[in-house]
Amino acid sequence: MLHKSPSKTYSTHMTLDRMGSRYPSRLSFSRSILRTMVKENWTINRVKFNLDKKGYGIAIYEVATPNQVYSLVCFSQYIADEDRSDRVIAEKWDTTYSLHIGTISAKDLVRLKKNVPLQEAGRNSPNELVISRANKSVRLFKKVVQCLSEGIQPDIKDINAVGYLLRTTAVYGSGKFGLSDYARTKFVTHFDQPFRAEMLAVYIIREFSVDLIEHIAYHNNPLKAVKLENHIKQHLGIGNSTGLGMAPFIIKHPKLIHKWMNQFQKTLEKINEIKNIDPLQFNEFINLLHKAQTYLNEVLTSDKYQKNKNYSTLVDLKKMIKFCNNLSQSKNQIQSWYEIIDYAEKNFNFDTQEIVRVQIVELFPSIADPLAEDMSDSEEMYIDTSQTVLSIIDLIRNKYAWAINTDFNNENNLFLFWYISEEKLEPRLGERYNEKGAELEEPLGIGKMVYDLYNFIINRSEMHKFTIAEFLLRFPQYRGVIRRIQTLSNCVYGELNDNILARNTLSINMLRFKLSFFGASRYDPKSDRWLRVSFFAGAPFYNKLSSKNVENWGFATMNSYQ
């Protein structure tokens, strides 16, 4: 077993501060999609590249998989600097995209051209899996065009400072805006694991970002222009601005969240069963810790909170490496990886603990990779109608102590409310006592709902023997919260064990948690409600992608490509 006291461990894994310390791993979706591409010999061909000299026009990339072709269509257009915005309410973008099932016919292209650049305001068909948009990085795009046009390579430090040429501001899938419902997608495509189609689209957008910039540079100066050298190119990711839209997903998809966490924990549990650590493998682990250390030294953020966090992680990592070096040099063989994880848990901050975990997982593809192929789950929630009210009380006491022990009479614990914005139908946070709209609150305050149910039933002993079916006939207002409690009774990672209505809630911790499973790196918070990250930074581009390098790009640093 990983821990001597599993129940305590389960709940501590799902607190906001811990969730906000997660890092990508072998199980992340960006990693598993590239692994699948290599394993199944997918090919990507740029079949259309009708861009003018300034880079405006249409490009299409076809992805051939063993049984199906998918096409990413890219629209690039001129927009004025003042129209370029990361805000989700923007209406114009430098580039827009759609991932389509099959090849794109002339008729499809007309339809897509009319709709995809409009994004949320356009309509899509069930033959489209993903839509997205990306803006040019004002800091980097022009600079790189200029360098390449003059026949010189940009400085990798400039690349590192930003991390991307294009930055997506939304990647939509799963039935939104008319796109294919996930129930169909997983049935008729290769994408039977969550967010795989989205990750494929983002990977190809990264290809397009480099094709686009090299194309513009060439037309600026055909005689002198050069292409990006691989060691610089590979350091580029695709940026992503992520706001609160991601946060409710964690509350609304608890079975899926449990599945993701459970697969990760299961990987560690299996690793911990291995007795006697191979010294060579342990040295490899130390190298991976060094790599993470270099990565953290290189990652730039202007956010004070994140800077301090990274700094304290660097201090802890240094100590962790020292501990490992001492172990490595001692004559006593290390008995299990559990010793290493346990030491990190007892001595270092959450970020360091997570880095230790993901770098250990990195060493065991035969354990991690099959589990990474099983990250999907039925999301159906159910009511166990024959359970009694008394057993619900027990469940609440066992699993929701954090909720029933919260003082909801204290305004600070009800300070925030989640709502859907009128402007863009996106989730937002409001302040209950300072802003309008609390009466239209989204049902995301699970702690408060459990607290209310518990206080309703605890003193009504005459109801304790009722079956849940009998109870809900009389009190249907508790259907949602009872269904949730019952469904998640065996999902130890399904519930976020913190009150997200509290004044001090750092919602970016929820974003980071989800983004880590996507495989995002280079966390750069811009407020307590949104941040920028990169996807696929350090990953090989398609023409270099092989079984030899598909797994080497976690915690990529500027010297990873020598």
Partner 1 sequence: MSYSFYEVYTIALRACGSMGFPYGADEDAAFMIAWLELNNLQGIRLFARSIDDFNNKYDGKIVFNNKGNDFNLKNTSVLMKGPGIIDYYESLLKNQNIIEATISNCIDPIFFLPLLYKTSPKICFSRMIHFNSDMKMISYQIKNKIIQIGLSSSEFTIEKNQVKIILSNQENFHSSKICDQEISPESIQHNLENALKPRTVDWEKIKILAQRTYVPESEESRVKGAGGGDDND
Q: Which residues, numbered 446-465, are part of the site for partner 1 (CB under 8 A)? A: 449
Residues forming beta bridges with residue 427, ordered by sequence position: 420
369 near partner 1 (CB under 8 A) = no
Fill in the per-residue mask, 63 to 92: x = in contact with partner 1 (CB under 8 A), - = not in contact: ------------------x--xxxxx-x--
φ and ψ of 240, to 5 deg: -150, 130
Nearest Cα residue to 2 out of 274, 347, 349, 280: 274
Fill in the per-residue mask, 378 to 397: x = in contact with partner 1 (CB under 8 A), - = not in contact: -----x-xx-----------
Stretch that binds partner 1, among 43-51, 56-64, 110-118, 171-179 (CB under 8 A): 171-179
Look at the block and give the residue holding tokens 């005459």. 462
The single-letter code of the amino acid at 335 is: Q
Q: Which of 126, 192, 321, 376 binds partner 1 (CB under 8 A)?
A: 126
Q: Which of 8, 39, 139, 319 binds partner 1 (CB under 8 A)?
A: 139
* Residue 541 DSSP class: P
Q: Which residue lies nearer to partner 1 by CB, 181 or 269?
A: 181
Fill in the per-residue mask, 303 to 342: x = in contact with partner 1 (CB under 8 A), - = not in contact: ----------------------------------------
> Is 34 within 8 Å of 9 (Cβ atoms)?
no
What six digits make up the tokens of 290?
A: 């060094």
Residues forming beta bridges with residue 73, ordered by sequence position: 60, 98
142 near partner 1 (CB under 8 A) = no
- Please give the distance of CA 57 from its chain centroid, rounded to a whole number: 30
Q: Which of 192, 342, 369, 528 binds partner 1 (CB under 8 A)?
A: 528
Q: Which of 114, 479, 544, 548 binds partner 1 (CB under 8 A)?
A: 479
Q: What is the Cα Rg of the chain in Å?
A: 25
- Least distance from partner 1 to the Cβ atom of residue 445, Å: 10
- Least distance from partner 1 to the Cβ atom of residue 526, Å: 6
- Least distance from partner 1 to the Cβ atom of residue 545, Å: 29
501 near partner 1 (CB under 8 A) = no
Could you write out the DSSP letters of every residue in 71-135? EEEEEE----GGG---STT----SEEEEEEESPPPHHHHHHHHHHGGGGGGS---TTEEEEEEEE
CA distance 513 to 421: 23
Stretch that binds partner 1, among 149-157, 190-198, 425-433, 548-556 (CB under 8 A): 425-433
- Residues 235-264 close enough to bind partner 1 by CB under 8 A: 241-245
- Residues 186-225 close enough to bind partner 1 by CB under 8 A: 187-188
Q: Which residue lies nearer to partner 1 by CB, 331 or 436?
A: 436
- Least distance from partner 1 to the Cβ atom of residue 366, Å: 34
383: which residues sit within 8 A by CB, 6+ positions away? 468, 469, 472, 479, 482, 483, 486
- Least distance from partner 1 to the Cβ atom of residue 116, Å: 16
> Is 263 within 8 Å of 374 (Cβ atoms)?
yes
Nearest Cα residue to 171 out of 162, 179, 161, 159: 179
527 near partner 1 (CB under 8 A) = yes
φ and ψ of 192, to 5 deg: -90, 5
Stretch that binds partner 1, among 149-157, 290-298, 422-430, 539-547 (CB under 8 A): 422-430
